Amino acid sequence: MKRAATLAALVCLLAATAAAPALPDAGARPDRHYGSLLDSVPRKGVLKVCTTGDYAPFTKLDPAGKKYSGVDIEMARDLAKSLGAKTKFVATTWANLTKDVAARRCDIGVGGVSITLPRARQVYFGEPTREDGKTPIVRCADKGRFGAGTLKDIDKPGTRVIVNPGGTNEEFARAHIKRATITLHPENTTIFQEIIDGRADVMMTDASETRYQSRIHPELCSLHPEKPFTFSEKAYAIPRGDDEFKAYVDQFVHLATHDGTYAKYEAEWMK
């Protein structure tokens, strides 16, 4: 009788075990549904790179829309090469860049991307490539009009502040400009021409961009780029949960920013 009861209990246990869902493999991440890009990118031979193409010197798409260039574009090509892969650039916007990375429409997001806490809720950020911060750019003829270039000097009735939508530039302007007029201009590639042509007076963007734009447009002057209003860092956006790939990108950036590679690419645009 006891033996029969034991056998019956064993049968029930085996049946329950067979019906139970399989446990994940040892070491598997519950938030990882894709495997690591550190393995899949070399296997596929392609690194998909999200970039806006409208933010020189970091990312620029030529007018024909066929070729990307810029500091971070060259870095992305080097990263792909280090993985035995080629780059495939995926067009995005500032409003959607981190969303596209999070949704795995691309493997990494590059192009002068500033680290912010809201963005960091959507993606990982790798080791920073450089420091930056918001600073004004104006017509050189109007430098005297804006004095020391403080926010108080800028935020006055009659001043026309222009900004590209969906990124940290708009966020900064909305937070600090209360009396001047804010105008959204959808094309970041032509926004500085609006200032040159007198349809706007000021844009506040990253000091690195103001330095670049004042170099290629002598009519424009960057105000106090060495002392920007804010502190920020730029880095590459990586899908959350892929710790192995993030560690690799961190090491790649660390080496490139210390062996002169990143500085060389930046000098080619800033000279």
**Strand spans (E) along the chain:** 46-51, 54-55, 59-61, 68-69, 86-91, 108-109, 123-125, 130-132, 134-139, 160-163, 181-184, 202-206, 220-222, 232-234, 237-239
**Tens-binned pLDDT, residue by residue, of the chain (271 aa):** 444 444 444 444 434 444 444 433 333 444 445 689 999 999 999 999 999 999 999 999 998 878 999 999 999 999 999 999 999 999 999 999 999 999 999 999 999 999 999 999 999 999 999 999 999 999 999 999 999 999 999 999 999 999 999 889 999 999 999 999 999 999 888 999 999 999 999 999 999 999 999 999 999 999 999 999 999 999 999 999 999 999 999 999 999 999 999 999 999 998 7
Instruction: Report d(CA 4, CA 1) in Å as an integer.
Output: 5
- Is the Cβ–Cβ distance between 161 and 184 less than 8 Å? no
Look at the domain 43-132+232-270 and name its fold. Answer: D-Maltodextrin-Binding Protein; domain 2 (3.40.190)
- Is the Cβ–Cβ distance between 234 and 112 less than 8 Å? yes
Are 43-132+232-270 and 134-222 in the same CATH fold? Answer: yes
Burial class (CB in 10 A: 0-12, 13-18, 19+), 26: exposed
Instruction: Report d(CA 32, CA 177) in Å as an integer.
Output: 42
Domain locations in the chain as residue ranges: 43-132+232-270, 134-222
Superfamily of segment(s) 134-222: Periplasmic binding protein-like II (3.40.190.10)
- Is the Cβ–Cβ distance between 20 and 14 less than 8 Å? no
pTM above 0.85, yes or no: no
